[in-house]
A = this chain, B = another copy of it.
Amino acid sequence: MKYPFATRVQGITSSAVRDLLKIIQSGNVISFAGGLPDEALFPVQELELAYQKVFRSGGKYFQYGPTEGDSELRMLIQERLREKGIIASLENILVTTGSQQAIDLLAKVFLSAGDTILVENPSYLAALQAFQLYEANIIAVKSDRDGMIPEDLEEKIIAHSPKFIYVVPTFSNPEGKVWSKKRREALLQLAAKHKVVIVEDDPYSELRFTEEEPVPLASMDADGNHVIYTSTFSKTVAPGVRIGWMTGPEEVIRMGALSKQSTDLHTSSIDQRAMYYFLQDFPTRPHLDRLREEYRHRSLVMQEYLSKSGQNLFHWVEPQGGMFLWLSINRAIDTAELLEVALQEGVAFVPGASFFAGQPERNTLRLNYTHATPDVIETGMGRLMTAIDKVLASRVND
């Protein structure tokens, strides 16, 4: 039987990353592919105590709950936002099933088929996929290591009247870069001038390796009308809990909540309440400090390997935080082909092409350094170098 699927799913493809994860789980492959934190660093004991507290209240938190989320959890999120300079009323905070759902709900609320949005290039893969499912016209703005180029941004705002501009300004996925303050200001000014909404996706900013804290766009938005901010506990606590949130202009958050009603009613009440107790009872600073130190160390191990193996072969920007190292190989090499050889050698990564909205740079790849331990990183990088050598050698022989 032929099923009459909607036009939005015609040509839908699985996330390269998630398909890779499936292959990798089965074998002896070292994976730098997934955006996984290290489960050995999850605060399992503290979470256990938090869940125990949920059970001590009897069935209360096993019942249906409000779509907007547990109100006491939202109060704690509100406090954390305030520490970042983001002022949000309680009504303007919506708890979501991970920040991926926030992205999906914003697409649902803003995008009719054919509507245009602007994104960085490269950009977060699963956001691109969410936007594609709402049949968005995705236009990439020219970007360098400091963020979007303001001239190109303004030109594209004028040419396309986008519904919103989607950015990950702090430790971006896949590039791991940080937008400069100047570029952040330019983006906000252009958004205000042309009355365009910005979606600021900020899952990684707590994982910074430097003292200086990047200032979120949402805290710089003078009238609070232009930035919708989303983040998550997936990287700082644990992703399996699936708790994210979004905040922004009242009307937008209200629309998001109305859409969430028919999307999944609400996020797990048990997980929300456990997260509330976890945040309430345990100081997060020592845990975050440990994550930062450990992940920074791993990023350095990876970079040292790269430095010693191919000073002229590779180009990358040193990650200041987050989970990814974005590598360019200074040769005519397609990393999708490289991946096949790499998997034979026992190492995986994500070829860069799928992160691009327009013309891809095929000599790029994304390496995750947070999941593997330092010695595994060294072994995996060794395998990657072997794979690269093999591919380059076969080129010479062709």
Contacts and interface: CB of A to CB of B under 8 A. Distances in A.
Nearest to A45: B55
A260 to B, nearest CB: 10
B6 A112 contact: yes
Interface string A234-256: 10001111100000010110010
A358 to B, nearest CB: 20
Nearest to A195: B1
Contacts of A238: 59, 62-63
B63 A264 contact: no
A258 B14 contact: yes
A62 B240 CA distance: 4
A241 B268 contact: yes
Interface string A1-21: 111111111001111001001
A47 B101 CA distance: 26
Contacts of A241: 62, 268, 270
A3 B9 CA distance: 27
Contacts of A67: 18
A265 to B, nearest CB: 5
Interface stretch (A34-42, A145-153, A309-317, A375-383): A34-42
A64 interface: yes
B242 A267 contact: yes
Contacts of A58: 39-40, 44
B97 A264 contact: yes
A115 interface: yes
Contacts of A258: 9, 12-14
Contacts of A268: 97, 240-242, 268, 271
A62 B44 contact: yes
A354 interface: no
A62 B46 CA distance: 13
Contacts of A61: 240
Contacts of A239: 62-64, 269
A39 B270 CA distance: 13
11 contacts: A1-B195, A1-B225, A6-B109, A6-B110, A12-B255, A35-B64, A39-B63, A42-B63, A44-B62, A98-B264, A271-B271
Given A6-B115, A7-B112, A51-B55, 7 more contacts: A3-B252, A4-B110, A40-B58, A104-B262, A113-B113, A239-B269, A242-B269
